[in-house]
Chain A
Amino acid sequence: KAGVTQTPRYLIKTRGQQVTLSCSPISGHRSVSWYQQTPGQGLQFLFEYFSETQRNKGNFPGRFSGRQFSNSRSEMNVSTLELGDSALYLCASSLVPAGGLGEQYFGPGTRLTVT
């Protein structure tokens, strides 16, 4: 069974640009969560989608947005990039909503560098 895949794996952008990251969950999983990992802030929850609906959102500015498609694939978008957005962005999928009975399985991440 294929794991969670994220594309691209590495990305370099300049300040002010926007970026779109993609996540394909494990087959059959309907929940996709996004996390930002930085050395200073650790792992922080961005948002979760389940059956194309955003169920929960972390404490990030409106520049961070996401969506989920009918095949459960998810994208996250960051507009007007800032240097502080440089991070590893991790996607996780689970059968049911995250937390509770939802064991989350993580992808390898997308390393975003903003210059």
Chain B
Amino acid sequence: GEDVEQSLFLSVREGDSSVINCTYTDSSSTYLYWYKQEPGAGLQLLTYIFSNMDMKQDQRLTVLLNKKDKHLSLRIADTQTGDSAIYFCAESGTNFGNEKLTFGTGTRLTIIP
């Protein structure tokens, strides 16, 4: 079955760049997503990338996809205290009847002042 893995913790100094990594196993993954979850809240969709793309940039966020290695990363430039949260990567396929997201374990990002 599908499996998505992330490291559990990341600490970054305020103003530095944060890079959160994710690996997945399903080669038929069509879309890969990054979600943010703040304490006591649901998940907020940050960005997503289609599997035929290598990179997507959206303001401070850059997503890199290495499809050969099944590796996805999220770079947050100029990390701020408001970026403290848990970040989940997720993958989905378009196989009929398999339209669901498989989430990673989440990476807790801590900002050091």
Q: Which A residues are closer than 8 A to B by beta carbons?
A: 4, 33, 35, 42-43, 45, 48, 55-56, 58, 90, 92, 97-109
Contact = CB atoms under 8 A, between A and B. Distances in A.
Given A42-B106, A43-B88, A99 B101 contact: yes
A108 B42 contact: yes
Nearest to A46: B100
A98 B30 CA distance: 12
> Main SS of chain B's interface residues?
loop
B48 A56 contact: no
> Main SS of chain A's interface residues?
strand
Contact of A97 (B40, B99, B105): B99
Interface in B57-113: 88, 92-94, 97-106
Contacts of B93: 99-100
Interface residues of B, number: 24
B105 A42 contact: yes
Contact of A56 (B31, B42, B98): B98
7 contacts: A58-B100, A98-B99, A100-B93, A106-B35, A106-B42, A107-B42, A109-B42
